Structure 1
Amino acid sequence: MYTKPEFTPADPEAAFRLIEQAVFGTLVTAGPEGPVVSHPIFMLERGEGGNGALVSHLAAANPHCALIGRGLPTVAIFMGDQCYISSSWYPRRIERENTDRDNAPTWNFATVHCHGRPQVLDVRETARHIRDCVEHLEAGRGERWHLKELGPGGMKRRLPNVLGFRMPIERLEAKFKMGQDEPWRDTRAAIDRLEDGVDPSLAAAMRRENEGRD
């Protein structure tokens, strides 16, 4: 992934928080006939190795499963806060008789790429993973759903239709493009506009990544 040193997140934990908040990602594996892409949900296991591991599952009928079973090089992609940044938000300059807003518009975003080789889970591990997913995603709901509501044998009947896998993260790339390479007056103006009802969440992320600039 192309990036710049300025786009490295200020907090090393920010990349892991993005994965945990996103949950949903894009899975890309290089197959013999070209890239194969799926869109599963992921659970992050922080305790495995330096970068942890991702645990996920696909429908067993998905052709992607054949590549997962071979442990081929794979990338999981997660997107965080992102938004178009309009030059109309920038203050006008008065330099050498130029009063235009001469900085181009852009798109600010946060993304994380996790590289690794998937390992297929057995049935018991897959069932545990699905339980973990349900517990995580149902947490805090007023009338949450419980896995036991599938009824006797409900889980066992469905497991053959699912392929669970774990992917230790061999390499993690994080790019938080938040205006760090733009003039501070422009970045600050964009933050102000975003805070004013456009995208307060992205504004907060931009403030964090530009802390200390003046």
Structure 2
Amino acid sequence: MYSKPEFAPLSREAVFDLIEAAAFATVVTSGPQGLVASHLPFVLDRDRGSNGTLISHLARQNPHSALIAEGRETIAVFQGPHGYISPSWYPRNPVRDSAPTWNFAVVHCHGRPVPLDDHATARHLLRLVDVLEKDREDRWRMRELGPGGMERRMPHIIGFDLPIDRIEAKFKMGQDERLYDTLGAIEKLEHGDPALATMMQGHNAHRKD
């Protein structure tokens, strides 16, 4: 992934935070017929492996599952806050001569998947539900599937670990624009896209230019 030094994340924790906040990734695997893509939810284990480990599942009927079972090279792409940046938000100083752009945060996790047995897949599903249902009012629990509910579904699912061999992260947040232009964009976004505005503020807070 093309990037520049100024687009580096502020910390490893910021990368993990984005993965956990997104929870959903585009997964691309190289196969005999070319690239195959699926869109899957993930849980992150920050402490397992040198760069953490992702855990997910997909339908066995999905042709992608055969490539996962073979442990083929895979990328999981997580998208954070992003949006169009209009020069109309910049101050005239004396003119608004910067081009439009798109600010975004993205993380690419490279690795080779490792299939899970049914027991480990069931543990993953329980954890995934716990993560996604956390703090919800009248949250749903897996036991509500009823007797045999999990057992009926397990043959149709393949779970897998994706130990992260390499992480690429790009947090393009206006660091390469003139500070007064970036501040103008942040001011506008505070009322329309506060998540992007907050991330831009954090990545430009150190600037004095």
Length-normalised TM-score, structure 1:
0.95
The corresponding residue for 2:14 is 14
SS in 2 for 1:181: coil
SS in 2 for 1:13: helix
CA–CA distance in structure 1, aligned partners of residues 82 and 14 of structure 2: 15
CA–CA distance in structure 1, aligned partners of residues 135 and 88 of structure 2: 40
Deviation at 1:43, TM superposition (A): 0.3
Deviation at 1:200, TM superposition (A): 1.1
Deviation at 1:48, TM superposition (A): 1.1
Structure 2, unaligned runs of 5 or more = none
CA–CA distance in structure 2, aligned partners of residues 26 and 148 of structure 1: 29
Q: Out of 142, 162, 171, which is 2:166 matched to?
A: 171
Structural mapping, 1:24-173, within 5 Å: 24-94=24-94, 100-173=95-168
Q: CA-to-partner distance for each residue in 1:160-211, whole Å, 9 max, x for gaps?
A: 000000010000011000000111111111111111x111111110010111
SS in 1 for 2:140: coil
The corresponding residue for 2:175 is 180
Runs of 4+ aligned residues of structure 1 deviating over 2 Å after TM superposition are none
SS in 1 for 2:136: coil
Deviation at 1:50, TM superposition (A): 2.0
SS in 1 for 2:79: strand
Q: CA-to-partner distance for each residue in 1:39-77, whole Å, 9 max, x for gaps?
A: 010000111122110000001100000100111100000
CA–CA distance in structure 2, aligned partners of residues 152 and 174 of structure 1: 43
SS in 2 for 1:40: strand
CA–CA distance in structure 2, aligned partners of residues 163 and 56 of structure 1: 9
Larger radius of gyration: 1
CA–CA distance in structure 2, aligned partners of residues 206 and 17 of structure 1: 15
Structure 1, unaligned runs of 5 or more = 95-99
RMSD (Å), alpha carbons? 0.8
Partner AA of 2:172 in structure 1: K
Deviation at 1:142, TM superposition (A): 1.6
Partner AA of 2:152 in structure 1: R
* Bigger shift: residues 110-119 or 143-152: 143-152
SS in 2 for 1:25: strand
CA–CA distance in structure 2, aligned partners of residues 84 and 202 of structure 1: 10
Partner AA of 2:85 in structure 1: I
- Among all aligned residue pairs of Structure 1 and Structure 2, give the percentage whose two residues are the same amino acid: 58
